[in-house]
Amino acid sequence: MSSTLSLLLSGAGTGLLAGGASCAAVQGGLLAGAVSRRTTANPGAPRRAAEPLAPVGAFLAGKLLSHTTLGVLLGIFGSALQPSPRTRAVLLIAAGLLMVFFALDLLGVKAVSRLVPRPPAAFGRLVRGRTKSSSRLAPAALGFATVLIPCGVTLSVELIAVTTGSAVAGAAVMAGFVIGTAPLFTLIGYVFRRASQNVSSYLAGVTGIIVAAIAVWTISSGLQAGGWLPTATTATTASAASAVGSVPAAVLPSPQAAPKTGAPQEPVTVDASGKQTIVLTVTDFYMPTVFTAKADVPTALVLRGADAGGCARAFTIPELGVEEIVKKNGDTRIDLGARKPGKLLFSCAMGMQGGTIDFQGDRA
- Show the low-confidence residues of the chain (pLDDT under 50): 1-2, 38-43, 45, 47, 49, 196, 235-264
Q: Count the neighbouring beta carbons within 10 Å of the beta carbon of residue 165.
A: 18
List the beta bridge partners of residue 286. Answer: 282
SS (H, E, C) the chain: CHHHHHHHHHHHHHHHHHHHHHHHHHHHHHHHHHHHCCCCCCCCCCCCCCHHHHHHHHHHHHHHHHHHHHHHHHHHCHHHHCCCHHHHHHHHHHHHHHHHHHHHHHCCCHHHCCCCCCCCHHHHHHHHHHHHCCCCCHHHHHHHHHHHCCCHHHHHHHHHHHHHCCHHHHHHHHHHHHHHHHHHHHHHHHHHHHCCHHHHHHHHHHHHHHHHHHHHHHHHHHHHHCCCCCCHHHHHHHHHHHHCCCEECCCCCCCCCCCCCCCCCCCEEECCCCCEEEEEEECCCEECCEEEEECCCEEEEEEEEECCCHHHHEEEEHHHCEEEECCCEEEEEEEEEECCCEEEEEEECCCCCEEEEEEECCCC
Question: What does DSSP say about strands 268-270 and 247-248: parallel, antiparallel, or unpaired?
Answer: parallel
Task: Yes or no: say if 301 and 320 are a contact pair by the CB < 8 Å rule.
Answer: no
State the distance between the two ends of the chain, measured CA to CA, in whole angstroms. Answer: 53
> What's the CA angle centered on 332, arms 326 and 334, to 5 degrees?
115
pLDDT at residue 25, rounded to an integer: 62
Handedness of CA 319, 322, 325, 328 (dihedral sign): negative
Give residue-wise pLDDT tens across range 97-116: 877 877 787 777 888 777 76
